């Protein structure tokens, strides 16, 4: 085991929440270490939007404008369309402004406008990839992707933890003032602290499908499709 690392905050979990927290701590000059079991964000479609409050946080961190230039084309309509099938007839659609139109509204808005950063239609996998590359450029953030937290012990003066490099098995001792669980409901932080869920479980088999069918022109009938099996 290597010599211990002393750090202000240990972040367990490197999804959007963990990486955004690392950036917020960096903005406050608080050094942190972020450990994530996967070596990089998964390149697979996930959530399709960044909501208004998230975009406000990104604006404060100085990256909102960059993110708004990613994803779909600026003039691409963001309508939500409902169809009988992927290549079938259109039932109805909900009109949504393009990113270009949103930017024009922001530019024309007054200082007391209630939504300075409208929702952005940007898939989570693209946003995560950008955040992952961005945090590696920020001094004070020790990025440990490919590492998992295997144990931690809360104390009155902080927390002692152990992280392990998954590929090599190398272990590293961490001494931190705080540990933050951003590793999801099945993560070690929630389980070890004994934080319970309330209510009924919605634990059912689920499947995600990402498909670009032949014969469907997304430019001609641009928008997002909501698929509801009959």
> For position 18, which CATH number holds?
3.50.50.60
196 band by pLDDT with thresholds 50, 70 and 90: confident
Q: Is 11 exposed, middle or buried (0-12, 13-18, 19+ CB in 10 A)?
A: buried
Spatial separation of the C-alpha atoms in residues 84 and 175, rounded to whole Å: 57
Q: What's the total number of domains in the chain?
A: 1
Assigned domain for 81 exists? no
Arithmetic mean of pLDDT, 189-203:
81
Torsion, CA 177, CA 183, CA 187, CA 192, rounded to 10: 20
Arithmetic mean of pLDDT, 88-96:
88
For residue 12, is pLDDT > 60?
A: yes
| Closest among 138, 168, 170, 185 to 34, alpha carbons compared | 138
Looking at residue 212, its pLDDT comes to 60
pLDDT in tens, 102-150: 888 888 888 887 778 888 988 898 999 999 999 999 999 999 999 999 9
Assigned domain for 20 exists? yes
Looking at residue 218, its pLDDT comes to 47
11 band by pLDDT with thresholds 50, 70 and 90: very high
The mean pLDDT value of the chain amounts to: 86
Angle CA(153)–CA(28)–CA(113) in degrees, nearest 5? 120
Which H helix or E strand runs over 178? Answer: strand 171-181
Domain enclosing residue 123, as ranges = 2-76+96-193
Taking only Cα atoms into account, the Rg of the chain, rounded to an integer number of angstroms, comes to 21
Spatial separation of the C-alpha atoms in residues 49 and 52, rounded to whole Å: 9
């Amino acid at each position: 085991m290597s010599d211990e690392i002393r750090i202000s905050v240990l972040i367990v979990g490197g999804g959007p929440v963990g990486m955004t927290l690392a950036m917020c701590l960096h903005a406050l000059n608080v050094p942190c270490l972020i450990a994530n079991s996967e070596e990089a964000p998964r390149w697979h479609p996930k959530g399709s939007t960044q909501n208004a409050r998230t975009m406000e946080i990104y604006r404060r961190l100085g990256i909102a404008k960059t993110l708004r230039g990613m994803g779909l084309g600026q003039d691409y309509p963001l309508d939500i369309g409902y169809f009988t099938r992927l290549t079938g007839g259109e039932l109805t659609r909900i009109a949504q402004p393009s990113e270009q139109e949103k930017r024009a509204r922001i530019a024309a808005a007054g200082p007391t406008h209630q939504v300075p950063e409208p929702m952005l239609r940007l898939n989570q996998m693209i946003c995560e990839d950008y955040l992952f590359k961005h945090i590696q450029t920020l001094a004070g953030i020790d990025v440990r992707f490919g590492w998992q937290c295997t144990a931690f012990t809360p104390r009155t003066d902080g927390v002692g933890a152990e992280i392990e490099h998954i590929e090599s098995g190398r272990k590293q001792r961490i001494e931190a003032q705080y540990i933050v669980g951003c590793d999801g409901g099945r993560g070690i932080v929630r389980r070890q602290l004994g934080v319970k869920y309330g209510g009924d479980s919605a634990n059912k088999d689920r499947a995600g499908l990402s498909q670009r069918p032949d014969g469907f022109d997304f430019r001609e009938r641009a928008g997002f499709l909501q698929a509801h099996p009959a």
